[in-house]
Amino acid sequence: MSRMENLRRKAFAAALIGGGLLIGDLLIGAGPLAAQSRIKDIVDIEGVRDNQLVGYGLVVGLNGTGDDLDKAVFTRESLIGMLQRLGVNARDEDLDTDNVAAVMVTANFPAFGRHGARIDVTISALGDAESLLGGNLLVTPLLGADGEVYAVAQGPVAVGGFSAGGEAETITRGVPTTGRIPNGAIIEREVPFALNELQRVKLSLRNPDLSTAGRIAGAINDFLREQRKIEQPSAEVTDPGTVTLAIPEAYSGRAVALLSDIEQLTVKADQIAKVVIDERSGVIVMGQNVRISTVAIAQGNLTIRITETPQVSQPGPFAEAGETVVVPRTQIEVDDQNGSRLAVVEGNGVSLQQLVDGLNALGIGPRDMISILQTIKAAGALQAEIEVM
């Protein structure tokens, strides 16, 4: 690296600190230009995916923090139905318990989950329960989108939050009506998927990009040609988000072995020039490829400050006439920031570093920077896509 480049990098770091630009306010992903990523970290294998499960159940054993059975009719009917299945007739009884809560149980069925394996489940109160602390989930079938039962959940609920209080004050920390049961569900049905028997495999890019897809296909074909002596190209780019991989004869019936060989290959993941803005929190994230044409920038706000300092006027001691009155006193200050100057960000295709240095020199905060970036984009000088969250 040249001496001039070192000086530029040090000046950039000083601008970030001396200019008062906090890392929490502006995050810059400016890593090494030649950073390589493994193929397994930037693609998904089509068909290898999780499936969502959901179920309805009852949590019992609560210390008076469960549903009100008079208001939560579904909890009452579920409790009566459960007792009847256990041989207890409670239909004609006046149930009055607040130790039971109706809950929704959700889980992610992992790819290639096998019969008898355990998965985590999340428990969420459905009625007006105050807390699930100390509760125990009863046997709950978990269904997939096709209505079939794929797992059964049961066990003690672990709650991270709590709620406590008295007549005058109540304190709540976290969310006491949501909990988890680690390894709380047992898989009862498998999802059939014969990955090893596939003749073609599709690799889906998590961030679709034509350049990245082309590099992935090229890396795979180079590996097969150099390491496995397979001259015929096996990988081709179908679209910006998909690389189709035809299983060569040398890997016939061994698609998993092929994927295991290529997932460690590294490529440089490309990305479009993009500026992401979160206006609610004032966070700005710029990609390293963001470029800006020469522009002149001036920033100023009109601030009006009104201060009320009323004074009390009252007659002197033993005065025969007069009354005590409140006399208003209003002070108005106007700051139009007439000391602000017009700054020029020079250059043909200014880099991200130069852009940040220029904005820091103006003393611009993240909130104003959002408006400036949007205005530069509207002027056609920002060669990047702006995404507002």
Would you say residue 125 lies in a domain? yes
Q: What are the pLDDT digits (tens) for 121-147?
A: 999 999 999 999 999 999 999 999 999
Do residues 261 and 236 both lie within one domain? yes
Q: Are residues 84 and 145 in the same domain?
A: yes
What is the mean pLDDT of the segment spanning 334-349?
Answer: 55
pLDDT at 367 over 80: no
CA distances to 83, 193, 361 from 383, rounded to whole Å, are: 67, 45, 22
Pairing state of beta strands 311-313 and 325-327?
A: antiparallel
Coil, strand or helix at 310: coil
Domain final residue, candidates 169, 187, 205: 187
CATH code for position 206: 3.30.70
Least confident of 82-91, 103-112, 370-379: 370-379
- Let me know whether 281 and 348 are in one domain: yes
Query: With helix as H, strand as E and coil as C, how does 49-66 read?
Result: CCEEEEEEEEEECCCCCC
Assess whether 233 and 282 both reside in one domain. Answer: no
Same domain flag for 198 and 178: no
- Kindly report the number of other CB atoms within 10 A of residue 159's CB atom: 20
Residue 261 within any structural domain of the chain:
yes
Mean pLDDT for all residues in the chain: 82
Does residue 374 belong to any structural domain of this protein? yes
pLDDT value of position 29 = 41
Measure the CA–CA gap between 358 and 61, rounded to whole angstroms: 63
Q: Which pLDDT score, from 0 to 100, does residue 267 have?
A: 96
Residue 336 or 333, more confident: 333
Residue 122 and residue 141 in one domain: yes
> Is pLDDT of 382 > 90?
no
| Structural domains counted in the chain | 3
Say if residue 118 is in the same domain as residue 7.
no
**Is residue 213 domain-resident?**
yes
Enter the pTM of the model. Answer: 0.70
Q: Which of 246, 266, 286 represents a domain boundary (last residue)? A: 266
pLDDT tens sequence across 136-182: 999 999 999 999 999 999 999 999 877 777 766 777 778 899 999 99
Confidence label for 25 from pLDDT (cuts 50, 70 and 90): very low
Residue 361, in any domain of the structure: yes
Same domain as 179, residue 64: yes
Query: How far, in Å, CA of 108 to CA of 118, rounded?
Result: 11
Same domain? For 112 and 162 the reply is yes
Q: What Rg do the C-alpha atoms of the chain give, in angstroms?
A: 33
Between 363 and 84, residue with greater pLDDT? 84
How far is the C-alpha of 136 from the C-alpha of 62, rounded, in Å? Answer: 8
136 and 75 within one domain: yes
**pLDDT of residue 185 exceeding 90:** yes
What is the extent of the structural domain holding 92?
51-187
Report the alpha-carbon distance of residue 273 to residue 381 in Å, rounded.
13
Question: What distance in Å separates the CA atoms of residue 248 and residue 214, rounded to the nearest whole number?
Answer: 19
* C-beta of residue 223 within 8 angstroms of C-beta of residue 262: yes
219 and 342 part of one domain: no
- Do 82 and 173 fall within a single domain? yes
Higher pLDDT, 30 or 87: 87
Residue 202 — very low, low, confident or very high, per pLDDT cuts 50/70/90? very high
The answer to whether position 320 is within a domain reads: no
